[in-house]
Amino acid sequence: MSRPLKLQIVEQARALIADESHWCRGHLAQDVSGVAVSPTSANAVKRCGLGAVIAAAYQLTHDFDAAHDLAHSCQPTAGDLGSSKNLDFQAAWHHFQLVRLLG
């Protein structure tokens, strides 16, 4: 029996940002110059937690829209994030959740 798709996505996402040098805050993804890029871009070298989930979902589905839908279904709800609008907090939360899930 194959592993559930969401589990595969989270495992791949965690691998993308397991090395802290591949993790960013404030943007879904960045290139080598620190410029914001799409998390599905071949130029992306750093991603936040959500960006890693989007990239992983895209790598598995090869469908941009499905990747975004799947990524959002894997992430914590707004209630889990509290009322904070702080992007650094949210990026740290996503990274923490991925590491906690498979750490």
CA–CA separation, 67 and 96 (whole Å): 21
pLDDT computed for residue 70 by the predictor: 86
Q: Taking a C-beta distance cutoff of 8 angstroms, is the pair 31, 67 a contact? A: no
**Domain range enclosing 32:** 5-102
Per-residue pLDDT of 17-76, as tens digits, reads: 889 899 898 899 999 999 999 999 999 999 988 899 999 999 999 999 999 888 878 765
Nearest CA to 13 among 46, 49, 64, 41? 49
What is the count of structural domains for the chain?
1
3-state secondary structure of 36: strand
CA distance 19 to 53: 15
CB–CB of 12/22 below 8 Å?
no
Of 5, 4, 10, the C-alpha closest to 75 is 10
Residue 100 corresponds to which amino acid?
R
**pTM of the predicted protein model:** 0.74
Q: What is the pLDDT of residue 29?
A: 95
- What's the pLDDT score for residue 66? 92
